[in-house]
Amino acid sequence: MTEIRLYNTKTRQKERFQPIDPDNVRMYVCGPTVYDRAHLGNARPVIVFDVLYRLLRHVYGPDHVTYVRNFTDVDDKINATALARKEAGAKGTLEELIAERTEETIAWYHADMCELRTLRPDREPRATQWIGAMIAMIEDLIAKGHAYAAEGHVLFSVDSYRDYGKLSGRSVDDMIAGARVEVAPYKRNPMDFVLWKPSSDDLPGWDSPWGRGRPGWHIECSAMAYELLGETFDIHGGGIDLQFPHHENEIAQSCCAHPEGGFARFWLHNEMLQVEGKKMSKSLGNFFTVRDLLDQGVPGEVIRFVMLSTHYRKPMDWTEKKREEAERTLRKWYAQAATAIGNGAPYQGVVAALSDDLNTAQAIAELHQLSLADDATTLRHSLQFLGFMGGDVPDWASVPAADLAALAERLASARADAMATKDFGQVDAMKSALLAAGVEVRMSKDGVDLVPGPDFDPAKLEGLL
């Protein structure tokens, strides 16, 4: 069996991955808070853990892997978005507008991630479906002395968990200095975090032993992971921005609620994304959503390719140059892979690269070698293994064969005329334009063949048609 090695944030080293149960490999990844479109940075963990999911399914079998990614559908940002709609004149109660916004955003998310050719997780729990489990976990934490109720809130007592801070490698003093700690008179320790908070009558809320309220963000993932994957599971993933405080708090809650378990054995974190060397932000004018790029005509597979060109533990820089190069490369590979005959399997070099801590950059280097070797069948199956080229060549990557055939006929006719008149001006001009568009021109006594090359750009043919 293929050996997988993954960098475990928890131990700060690369380790051999051995699942708790090879027949039931379990992975939890923190999903989105559904109040708006997913931006490009949100897409990176989705793609990273999609690749890991595909690798696990390849090694252990599709029926032996469970991938859970949640939707946070109760949150102050969702409430604020719905309230803004109501103030703008939208009909319905605030609760109805919140539900409407949630459904709308989840549909957007699914559509956008599908364009990036990511697989749906096996389970996609919504936080609002597991409130009872959250309340039960909070009650248990209070009973065990790890949480306390105060002024309608319930807070986790950080002092009660001696390993707090081990995942991020920070001391409590460092965390207080570097974090935005909410100051509240009812807190015993400034680092204590909310498990439950009160809700006003106009906001979503549920009855609980501490009054009507709603859960804190961190308890949601702990409760859903426990209910769907058990007290100990194999992998927990997410962006590096979630390492502290979200993942740190998840560990504290879960290990205190279920001390006989270990919560997640492996922790994987992807690094952040930049745009043209700068942090993505609205103030810099370089902030955009996945849908923005798709609407601009950037294919989802091209976005995926650019993301996978950088190792997930390194910062990724989205640039226009990378986008152009990715599109040219995929056009070339898709044209080659379209000629594949018969069944096949992904190239072992690609599988080995992914098995080495998801080295997608090396996997793409292996694809380049397959392309040079002109092994169409292995190239096609390797592309599909990485989440590209699900079926036929997509329209954006298709070579306009009819247009090239018509141009070949025109060039052949012009060449025949030139042979008689000895004036090759038109032939040379057409040939130069075709070469500029990335088309290889092959002329012989049998006729003219036009073959799109790796830099083929159909847009540059418009002046010839």
CA gap 308, 299 in Å, rounded: 15
Binding residues, by number, are: 30, 221, 246, 250, 282
Q: What is the pTM of this model?
A: 0.87
Query: Is the confidence at residue 402, as pLDDT, over 70?
Result: no
Label residue 460 by pLDDT band (50, 70, 90). Answer: confident
Binding residues for Zn(2+), by number, are: 30, 221, 246, 250
Label residue 99 by pLDDT band (50, 70, 90). Answer: confident
Both tokens of 44, joined, read 């990176």
Label residue 449 by pLDDT band (50, 70, 90). Answer: confident
Tens of pLDDT, residue by residue over 125-145, are 999 999 999 999 999 999 999
Question: Which CATH code fits 5-270?
Answer: 3.40.50.620
Binding residues for ATP, by number, are: 282
pLDDT at residue 461, rounded to an integer = 78
Closest CA to 56 of 28, 19, 31: 19
CA 226 to chain centre: 23
Tens of pLDDT, residue by residue over 326-350, are 998 998 899 889 888 888 899 999 9
Return the exposure string of 273-294: e unless at least 16 CB atoms fall within 10 Å of the residue's CB, then b.
bbbeeeebeeeeebebbbeebb
Domain ranges of the chain: 5-270, 274-397, 404-461
Tens of pLDDT, residue by residue over 284-310, are 888 999 999 999 999 999 999 999 999
Residue with tokens 């001696």: 162
